[in-house]
Structure 1
C-alpha cells in the first residue's frame, strides 16, 4: 500500500496532465459508438469552448498547486486534522479521506453552487451546454473552479490527510467526471445497479435537464450515497431529458466570450427571481 501511495505522491505533472487528456479522449471516442442520445451537432466545434475552459482550469490548477503544497507542509508540521486523532490502517484512513473529499469538495460545494444565487450565476455556464458529452465535464467558469478548489483544500485541512491521498482522489475524480458526463448508453440494468453505489452516466444526465426540479438533483461526483441520504437522488426515463438550462436558453453555448460573460449578463435571470 505504501508503494502504491508513493506512486501518486511522486507522480510527475506531465503524467497527471496525460491522465486528464487520456480519460477525456477515451470517453469522448467511446460515446461515439455507444451513444445515449444521437446529437445533430459538430462534435469538434462543440468541444472547442469546453476545451478552452479546460485550459483555464489547468492554469488555475497549477496556481492552486502552490497553495496545496503549502497546506500539506503546514499539516505535516501541525498534525492538524481528523486523521491525526486516532490510529487506523492506511486503507481505512484513505477511505475516510476520499469520503470526506467526495462530500465536501464535490457534493456539498455543488449543492451550494445551485442554492446560493451568486454562485449559481457562475455555475450556469456548466449547465448552459445543450449537448452534454464527455467534454462538458471540463466546462466550468474559472471562478466556479476556484470555488471548487477552495472547498477541496478545506476538506484536506479537516482531515489532515497526506498529499498522496489527495492526489489519488484527484485521479479518481477526473475519471468519474468524464465518465458521468459522457454521452454513454450503459445497459439500463447496469447503470441503475451501479447507481446504488456510484454516480453513473444516466444518473448525472438528470442533473443536466433544463428545468427544475431535476436540475437541483444528483449533485454527486463519485459516490451516490450523498444524494440518496439527503433526498436529492433522481432516476427516471432518460428520454424525458432536455439538456441546457431554461434561464439561459437564448445564449450561444458555443461562444467562449458569451459563456465567460454569463455571470455578469443581466439578461440571464437567476432561477431565484
Structure 2
C-alpha cells in the first residue's frame, strides 16, 4: 500500500498531464461512437473554447501548487488534523480522506456555487455550455476554480492527510470529471445501478438542464451518496434534458470574451 501511494506522491508533472490527455481524449473519442445526444455542432470549435478554460485551470493549478506544498509541510511539522488523532490501517485512512474531500471540495462547494449569488455568477460559465461533452468538465471560470481549490485545501487541513492521499484523490477526480460530462450512452441499467453509489453520466446530465429544478440537483462529483443524503438527487429520462442556462442566450456559448465577463455583466439577472 505504501508503494502504491508513493507512486502518486512522486508522480511527475508529465505523467499527470498525460493522465488528463488520456482520460479526456478517451471519452472524447468514445462520444463519436456511443453518443447520448447526436449534436449538430463543430466539435473542434466547441473543444477549443473549453480548452482555453482548461489552460486557465492548469495555470491556477501551478500557482496553487506552491500554496499546497506549504500546507503539507506545515501539516507534517505540526501533525495537525483528524487523521493524526486516530490509528487506522492506511487504506481506511485513504478512503476517509477521499470521502471528506468529495463532500467538502466537491458537493458542498458546488452547492454553495449555486446558492450564493456572487458565486453563482462565477459558476454560470460552466452551465452556459449548450453541447455538454467531455470537454465541458474543463469549463470553469478561473475564479470559480480558485474557490474549488481553496475548499479542497480546507478539507486537507481538517483531515491532516498526507500529500499522497491528496494526489490520489486528484487523479480520481480527473477521471470522474470527464466521465460524468462525457456525451456517452451508457446502458441505462448500468448507469442507474452505478448511480446508487457513484455519479454517472446520465445522473450528472440532469444537473446541466437549462432551468430549475434540475439545475439545482445532482451536485456530486464522485459519490452520489451526498445527493441522496441531502435530498438533491434526481434521475429521470435524459430525453427531457436541454443544455444551457435560461439566464443567458445559447448563441454566446463559445464566445470566450463574453463568457469571462458574465460574472460582472449586470444585464444578466440571476435568480438569487
TM-score, length of structure 2 as denominator length:
0.99
The equivalent residue for 1:20 is 20
In structure 2, distance between residues paired with 1:257 and 1:249: 14
Q: Is the 8 A contact 1:248 1:269 kept in 2?
A: no
Q: Which runs of 4+ in 1 moved over 2 A?
A: none
> Is structure 2 residue 141 aligned with structure 1 residue 156?
no
Structure 2: tracts of 5 or more residues without a match: none
Q: Does 1:215 align with 2:218?
A: no
User: Is the counterpart of residue 87 in structure 1 residue 87 in structure 2?
Assistant: yes
**Structure 1 unaligned spans of 5+:** none
Change in Cα spacing, 1:40 to 1:251, as seen in structure 2 (3 Å) is closer
Q: Deviations over 1:157-203 (max 9, x none)?
A: 00000000000000000000000000010000000000001000000
CA–CA distance in structure 2, aligned partners of residues 37 and 267 of structure 1: 32
CA distance in 2 between counterparts of 1:141 and 1:18 reads 23
Shift of 1:31: 1.0
Contact 1:195 1:224 in 2 (8 A): yes
User: Over aligned residues, Cα RMSD in angstroms?
Assistant: 0.7
Cα distance in 2 for residues equivalent to 1:21 and 1:60 = 18
> Are 1:252 and 2:213 an aligned pair?
no
Q: Give the structure 2 partner of residue 103 of structure 1.
A: 103
Which residue of structure 1 aligns with residue 175 of structure 2?
175
CA distance in 2 between partners of 1:250 and 1:2 (Å): 49
Residue 244 of structure 2 contacts residue 250 of structure 2 at CA under 8 Å; is this kept in 1?
A: no
Please name the residue that 1:190 is paired with: 190
CA deviation after TM superposition for structure 1 residue 244, in Å: 0.3
Equivalent residue pairs, number:
272
- 1:4-60, Cα deviation, whole Å (9 max, x unpaired): 000000000111111111111000111110000000100000111100000000000
Between 244-253 and 122-131, report the one with greater CA deviation: 244-253
* Paired position in structure 2 for 1:137: 137
Q: CA deviation at 1:249?
A: 2.5
Taking the TM superposition and a 5 Å limit, the aligned residue runs for 1:56-67 are 56-67=56-67
Alignment TM-score, normalising by the size of structure 1: 0.99
Aligned to 1:261: 261
